[in-house]
Structure formats: structure tokens, C-alpha cells
Amino acid sequence: MSIRVFIPKDAAALSVGAERVAKAVMAEAVIRNIQIELVRTGTRGACWLEPLAEIEIDGVRHGYGPVTPADVPGLFDAGFLKAGAHRLALGPVEELDWFKRQERLTFARCGIIDPLSLDDYTAQGGLTGLRIALRMEPQAIVDTVKHSGLRGRGGAGFPTGIKWNAVLNAPADQKYIVCNADEGDSGTFADRMLIEGDPFCLIEGMVIAGLAVGATKGFVYLRSEYPHAFATLAEAIEIAGKAGLLGPSVLGSGRRFELEVRLGAGAYICGEETSLVESLEGKRGQVRAKPPLPALKGLFGKPTVVNNVISLAAVPWILTHGGQAYADRGMGRSRGTLPVQLAGNVKRGGLVELGFGISLRALIEEFGGGTASGRPVRAVQVGGPLGAYLPDSLLDTPLDYEALAAVKGMLGHGGIVVFDDSVDMARQARFAMEFCAIESCGKCTPCRIGSTRGVEVIDRIVAGHDRATDMALLDDLLTLMTEASLCALGGLTPLPVQSALTHFPGDFDRPTRGEKPVLRAAE
């Protein structure tokens, strides 16, 4: 029997040379006349160990990483195919503290299986949830999801079961399931990782959602910045169609569910659900006023479930293990697990799936190992470009929707971006406004104009000519944008700006103290 070697083909792993490592391993095996079966997986999420090569021995996977092509002959010399000692040897991967402490529910298979093998998927528990759902009444499926306490993982945190219930009870000849895979927040990559590493899990979740609310057609709206994920998902949908998981009779049940993946076109705003729906319809991605909610009048005017990738991918586990098992994890009103993405200036970045409740500090220090630069942490942005910048004094805040809101922050899609002490927070505040100006859909004035005025007024404050007037003006502008914007882009851009002003006021008045403004982030 040939030896099984696992090397990811996830885009993040490829970005640091996984393809070259895979080629080098195969070439070296040929030279040494050794039979190897190379399995290309997704990533387990330990981006800091990529490219991570694993060798399966008696069902246990031993890791080596991060591997460069130049390391490969040495690894063969060291007998890595028999888990031989080497400076890159990590031992059994799942015994590493980084993995052992996680609760991998949604990402249980990610990085372990061949993402496009339906056999691998079912061997690891895939399709169990769907088979259970096929024997249930729609209302019972919705109730299970409600009972699990699952809240939308895209950022808004709205209870998924309640959204599904609204669509179930909306009478219509056609309903839709739309998956929001327009993961535009900086510091987040959970959607990409799941789609590249376990696409059938998303497909299964969408089929279950369709059964639950009576929708027969689904769309995945995937951002164009993710060409690898698009290729994997398109292939997975084709495989699922041929296997009867999608189509006129899901697993022979006589129930229909069709699925298409559609590419976005580089607009951040299309991650907002009504803008996404407009874009899917073939229009400019401009935000719609709510009501009507998409649950009642969504895609092509029909009742539509719009859910994030991670919300939908959590559903197969919930159906398999029951709503209560999911609700048993987490804290407060944040039930279940959250795939946290540790990003930016952090030594051990990647995806960590855990029950809600761990503190930011524990994540950054214990999982992340501190900053990549080795300098002290100064600010942490949680929840993407619309999330607050938190100082060291707030890092004991637990990961929980309500706890973060209580410190005037937000959890968002679970991205955590770490900055060291070289960061200039006035510059970060300015960028928040600039980003809003670049990405505003233009429909409402507070966002379209307010963001540009925001950049200008922050520039004047930093220059320090008439600080008191400009600070009052900025304060007014932040209130206006918060209260009067049509959607979360204009409405939440004040969050990072306000947090920078509150927690790092010194960065805004360097010139008045006779200091030069720092003009760049860490190098």
C-alpha cells in the first residue's frame, strides 16, 4: 500500500508555496522510487504552519511545517514518511495544543478530507444531517435551528431560525436560498476556507435550508477576489448534481433543489444583503430600504433566505446532533461555536473554531503567540473595517455579540486584526472614512457624502489648525452617519473612527504637542 501524504491546495497555503512543495515531494518520491499517494486537502486553518505536509501512519496524521521545496530532500533523508525526526516535525497534528483546544464543529472536516471527494465527505459524517432533515416536517427543521440558538455569522447576528420561520410562513410559488459569500471584511477568510476545504458542507446546509422553508433554488454569491474558491465550489456543485444531492430529486426524495454559484464584481457593499440581492438580479449593487425584508420580498421579489456561508455550514452539524447540542456551547445569547480568524500582525495567524466566550487576550496571546513583529500589541480591530479598534485595556472582553456591543464594538464575521505599537490610529480612522467613500453604493447621502467629508475633517484635525471646531464637526458627522445611513456601511463606519478617538486621542493631536504625525502603519 502506498503512503498517503496530505498537502493543502487552499489558496492561503498556495500563497506561501504549497504547490511547489507538492511538486517537490512527488519529484523526490519518483527519484527514490517510493510510492506515494498525494491527497490535496483544504487547510486546517493553521496558516502559520503552511505549507503543512502530513503523513498518515496507522490512521494518525503526523505534520511537518512550514515546508519549503528546499526542505523536501532533507525530509526524505530524515524518513518523514515514517514520521522521522526533523526540525520541522510537529508530531501528530491533532495533538498540537493549537488544535486540541478548539471545538471544530463547522470546520470538523476542513483540511482533513479531499474537498471534492463526496466519499470522503460522507465517510466523515457528511449528509447525515440532510438525511435526517428529509424525514422531518419543514417546521420541525426550522424549530431545530431556532432551538440551536444559531445567529447569523455574517456579522448582524440575527437568529437564523427566526429568519427561516418568516420565509417558511410566506406563501409564494417560488422561494430562494441565497448564500452570502461576499466576504469582504479585512481580517476574515472563514467563508473562503470552508468553501475551498469542505464545499459539500455548504451545499448540504443550503439544501437543508431549502427543505426547511420550501425553496427549490439556491444561489451562492461569491466574491470575485476568490477565484480558487469559485473553481472548487463550481466543481463541487457539478459533482453534487451528478450524485443526486442536487437536482429534481434530492437523494431520491422527490424534493427539488437546484444550486448555482455566481461571481460578484468587486463591490464591498454587495455583502449587505439587499445590495447582494440587487446584484444577483443583475443591477447595480445598491442598498434597498427595509421593509420589505428579503425574507418576504427578496430575490426577484420572492421570499428569500439570505444567510452567510458559516451560518449555512453550521446547519448540517445542528441537524445531525440536535439543536440542544449546539446550544450547549457558548455564552449568554451567543450560542454554539464561532470560527475566529486571527489576522494581521500576529505570529500564529489562522482560523480557530471555539465556543463563544474566550477573551480576545487569550486568543491573541495563547493562540496567536503575540505579534509577528515581536512588538507590543497596541490596537485590535474586531469585526472587519466597520468594527471598533480596541486598546489593551479592553482585551479581556469575551467574544460574545453582547459583550462586544457593550464596549461599543462589534463581533461581525469574527475577524481579529492585530496591530503593534507602530500603528497611527488617526491614520486608521481616516482610512475607515476613505474606505467608506470608495465602497459607498451612493444611495444615501450620509454615507456617500459623509465619508468624504469625514476624510477631510480628520485631515484638518491631524493638521491641528482649529481642533475644537473640527472635533465638534466630526462628532456631529459621526452621529449623523450612525443615525441616518440606510445600511451598515455608512451606519457603522463611525465605529472604528469613534473608537480611535476614544481610546487613542493622543494620535490625533501630535502636531499640537510639537510631534510629527506618524504617517504609516507598521513596516
Partner 1 sequence: MTARQTQRSPFEIDAAREIVAGLRHLDGAMLPILHALQQRFGSIDPAAIPLVAEALNVSRAEVHGVVSFYHDFRTQPAGRHVLKLCRAEACQSMGCEALVEHLAAEHGISMGETTPDGRLTVEAVYCLGNCALSPAAMMDGDLIGRVDRDVIDALVQETKGVLS
User: Under the rule (CB under 8 A), what is the footprint of partner 1?
Assistant: 11-12, 14-16, 47-48, 50, 183-189, 191-192, 224-228, 260, 262-268, 279-286, 300, 341-346, 349-351, 372, 381, 385, 415, 417-420, 423, 428, 431, 435, 438-439, 441, 520-523
Q: Please report how close the Cβ of residue 350 comes to partner 1 at its closest, in angstroms.
A: 5
**How far is residue 359's CA from residue 383's CA, in Å, rounded to a whole number?**
14
**How far is residue 471's CA from residue 455's CA, in Å, rounded to a whole number?**
13
Q: How far is CA 471 from CA 216, 427, 430, in A?
A: 53, 16, 14
SS3 198: coil
C-alpha cell at 167: 420565509
C-alpha cell at 108: 470538523
Strands 60-64 and 36-41: unpaired
Which candidate, 432, 243, 248, 179, places its Cα nearest to that of 440? 432
**Identity of the residue, 224 or 502, whose beta carbon is nearer to partner 1 in the bound complex:** 224
Which candidate, 392, 414, 420, places its Cα nearest to that of 342? 414
Q: Please report how close the Cβ of residue 14 comes to partner 1 at its closest, in angstroms.
A: 6
User: Contact at 8 Å (CB) between 238 and 198?
Assistant: no
**Cα torsion 403, 409, 414, 416: sign:** negative
Q: Please report how close the Cβ of residue 267 comes to partner 1 at its closest, in angstroms.
A: 5
**Identity of the residue, 162 or 265, whose beta carbon is nearer to partner 1 in the bound complex:** 265
| Nearest-10 Cα torsion for 220, 221, 226, 231 | 40
**How far is residue 344's CA from residue 274's CA, in Å, rounded to a whole number?**
30
* Angle at the Cα of 449 from the Cα atoms of 470 and 511, rounded to 5 degrees: 30
H/E run at residue 381? strand 377-382
Q: Please report how close the Cβ of residue 128 comes to partner 1 at its closest, in angstroms.
A: 29
Q: How far is CA 506 from the centre of its chain?
A: 33
Q: Which residue has the cell 444583503?
A: 273
H/E run at residue 123? helix 118-123
Q: How many CA atoms lie within 13 A of 65 on its CB side?
A: 30
**Identity of the residue, 141 or 423, whose beta carbon is nearer to partner 1 in the bound complex:** 423
**How far is residue 148's CA from residue 328's CA, in Å, rounded to a whole number?**
8
**Identity of the residue, 21 or 83, whose beta carbon is nearer to partner 1 in the bound complex:** 21
Q: Please report how close the Cβ of residue 499 comes to partner 1 at its closest, in angstroms.
A: 13
Q: Please report how close the Cβ of residue 184 comes to partner 1 at its closest, in angstroms.
A: 6
Q: How far is CA 441 from CA 119, 218, 313, 436, 465, in A?
A: 43, 25, 29, 9, 32
Q: Please report how close the Cβ of residue 195 comes to partner 1 at its closest, in angstroms.
A: 10
**Identity of the residue, 144 or 345, whose beta carbon is nearer to partner 1 in the bound complex:** 345
Q: Please report how close the Cβ of residue 495 comes to partner 1 at its closest, in angstroms.
A: 13
Count of CB atoms situated within 10 Å of the CB of 230:
21
**Identity of the residue, 319 or 388, whose beta carbon is nearer to partner 1 in the bound complex:** 388
**How far is residue 516's CA from residue 523's CA, in Å, rounded to a whole number?**
18
Strands (E), 223-368: 258-263, 304-308, 330-331, 334-335, 337-344, 350-355
**How far is residue 500's CA from residue 450's CA, in Å, rounded to a whole number?**
18
**Identity of the residue, 330 or 414, whose beta carbon is nearer to partner 1 in the bound complex:** 414
Q: Please report how close the Cβ of residue 207 comes to partner 1 at its closest, in angstroms.
A: 19
Query: Which amino acid would we find at residue 170?
Result: A
Q: Please report how close the Cβ of residue 299 comes to partner 1 at its closest, in angstroms.
A: 8
User: Contact at 8 Å (CB) between 180 and 154?
Assistant: yes
Q: Please report how close the Cβ of residue 37 comes to partner 1 at its closest, in angstroms.
A: 26
Q: Please report how close the Cβ of residue 104 comes to partner 1 at its closest, in angstroms.
A: 17
**How far is residue 386's CA from residue 245's CA, in Å, rounded to a whole number?**
38
**Identity of the residue, 80 or 419, whose beta carbon is nearer to partner 1 in the bound complex:** 419
**Identity of the residue, 142 or 441, whose beta carbon is nearer to partner 1 in the bound complex:** 441
Q: Please report how close the Cβ of residue 473 comes to partner 1 at its closest, in angstroms.
A: 25
